[in-house]
């Protein structure tokens, strides 16, 4: 095979490390390294370099390992065999990641076990060329961003899932409320993961979480969303959970056919009517102390109040008293 007199990068843009296809070199071979690249000469497992951007002559004067390889003269040069590796040190910002299966965790606020998924992207740059070649590239003919992404996915997925779960649990927020914290969570994970991949000569330039979500059709997720919507609704009208439960009891009683007769048939008796009236009064009094009730909400309460009077659960006097409280609210 002919001796190569010029060696330069001929890899594709997505390649991080590329080996020149020929190993037949001489002490006058010209090594050309582009900007943002570094090159290494490798013979017998010994790495010589790095060679930065510019033109380099592979002579015994600037390459120590060649001083022991002087062969027979060959046109004024000494031939030898060695690999030439180029490494591209440009920053890649578009490497995507995602949890391959949902993270099972207990929602901190509602206590429901839910499946959580996370997606995002990160950026990397080869920081220590020699370490990168030794620990990741090895004897492969090349190493591109897809290969790196596959490797890091296996390396980082467990750490990402653990850190996200711990962050959500530590925040005390519901999974459905974590979105405003994504920037802080991204920064925390970047700091955690940077040291992990630095062992392979790679710098983590950024790490972003684009989304933390849950499967919409999961029963636990539907229960959680319903609970959060219910809580928000109660907050709008100034109720707490106990107040809402009182109104639920009244609404159920008012919807039963036969009113008090049905209640008696169930063994409850007419003695429940004063209790219901008292519960309604307590709820209305608490609403009165809450922020001003909207006209639509007042109309709804008055309708329910009228149904209770029509079924004999409230007397006319009780009805008038509670109506005044609602209108005053």
261 and 304 both lie in a single domain: yes
182 and 258 both lie in a single domain: no
Tell me what pLDDT residue 74 has.
47
Find out whether the peptide bond into 50 is cis, omega within 30 degrees of 0: yes
Choose the final residue of a domain: 187, 217, 247: 217
124 and 137 both lie in a single domain: yes
Select the more confidently predicted residue: 244 or 26: 26
For residue 146, tell me if it sits in a domain: yes
For residue 196, tell me if it sits in a domain: yes
Tell me what pLDDT residue 282 has.
54
Select the more confidently predicted residue: 83 or 72: 83
Is residue 281 predicted with pLDDT exceeding 60? no
Return the closest-CA partner of residue 210 out of 98, 93, 91, 92.
Answer: 98
Tell me what pLDDT residue 306 has.
80
For residue 225, tell me if it sits in a domain: no
**Average pLDDT rounded to a whole number, residues 10-25:** 91
Is residue 172 predicted with pLDDT exceeding 70? yes
Structurally, the chain folds into a number of domains equal to 3
Cα separation, 88 vs 86, whole angstroms? 7
Choose the final residue of a domain: 88, 108, 136: 88
SS3 112: coil
For residue 155, tell me if it sits in a domain: yes
Choose the final residue of a domain: 88, 112, 146: 88
For residue 227, tell me if it sits in a domain: no
Confidence of residue 134 (pLDDT cuts 50, 70, 90): very high
Confidence of residue 266 (pLDDT cuts 50, 70, 90): very low
Select the more confidently predicted residue: 63 or 214: 214
Is residue 206 predicted with pLDDT exceeding 90? yes
Percentage of residues in the chain having pLDDT higher than 90: 29
For residue 229, tell me if it sits in a domain: no
122 touches 97 (CB < 8 A): yes
82: burial class by Cβ within 10 Å (0-12, 13-18, 19+)? buried
Tell me what pLDDT residue 267 has.
38
Confidence of residue 31 (pLDDT cuts 50, 70, 90): very high
Q: What is the CA radius of gyration of the chain?
A: 37
Continuous segment of H or E residues that includes residue 6: strand 6-8
Query: pLDDT tens digits for 248-258?
Result: 555 555 555 44
22 and 80 both lie in a single domain: yes
Backbone angles phi, psi at 125, to 5 degrees: -150, 135
Tell me what pLDDT residue 60 has.
67
- What are the helix (H) ranges across 25-144? 129-132
174 touches 228 (CB < 8 A): yes
Cα separation, 142 vs 12, whole angstroms? 10
Select the more confidently predicted residue: 142 or 327: 142
Is residue 92 predicted with pLDDT exceeding 50? yes
Select the more confidently predicted residue: 148 or 74: 148
Average pLDDT over all residues of the chain: 78
DSSP state of 314: S
Structural domain including 207 reads: 92-217
């Amino acid at each position: 095979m002919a001796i190569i007199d010029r060696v330069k990068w001929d890899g594709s843009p997505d390649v991080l490390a590329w080996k020149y296809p020929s190993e037949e070199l001489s002490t006058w071979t010209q090594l050309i390294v582009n900007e943002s690249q570094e090159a290494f000469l490798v013979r017998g497992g010994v790495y010589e370099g790095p060679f930065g951007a510019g033109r380099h002559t592979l002579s015994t004067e600037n390459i120590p390992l060649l001083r022991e390889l002087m062969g027979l003269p060959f046109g004024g040069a000494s031939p030898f065999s060695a690999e030439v590796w180029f490494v591209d040190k440009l920053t890649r910002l578009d490497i995507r990641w995602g949890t391959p299966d949902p993270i099972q965790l207990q929602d901190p606020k509602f206590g429901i076990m839910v499946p959580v998924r996370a997606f995002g992207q990160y950026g990397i740059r080869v920081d220590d060329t020699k370490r990168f070649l030794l620990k990741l590239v090895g004897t492969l003919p090349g190493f591109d961003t897809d290969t790196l992404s596959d490797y890091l996915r296996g390396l980082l997925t467990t750490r990402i899932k653990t850190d996200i779960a711990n962050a959500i649990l530590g925040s005390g927020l519901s999974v459905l409320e974590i979105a405003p914290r994504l920037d802080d969570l991204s920064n925390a994970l970047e700091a955690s993961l940077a040291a992990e991949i630095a062992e392979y000569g790679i710098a983590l330039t950024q790490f972003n979480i684009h989304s933390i979500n849950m499967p919409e059709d999961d029963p636990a997720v539907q229960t959680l969303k319903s609970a959060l919507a219910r809580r928000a609704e109660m907050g709008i009208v100034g109720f707490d959970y106990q107040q809402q439960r009182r109104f639920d009891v009244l609404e159920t009683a008012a919807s039963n056919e036969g009113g008090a007769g049905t209640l008696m048939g169930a063994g409850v008796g007419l003695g429940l009517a004063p209790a219901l009236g008292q519960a309604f009064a307590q709820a209305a009094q608490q609403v009165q102390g809450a922020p001003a009730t909207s006209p639509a909400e007042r109309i709804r309460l008055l309708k329910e109040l009228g149904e209770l009077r029509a079924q004999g659960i409230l007397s006319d006097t009780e009805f008038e008293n509670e109506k005044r409280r609602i209108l005053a609210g």
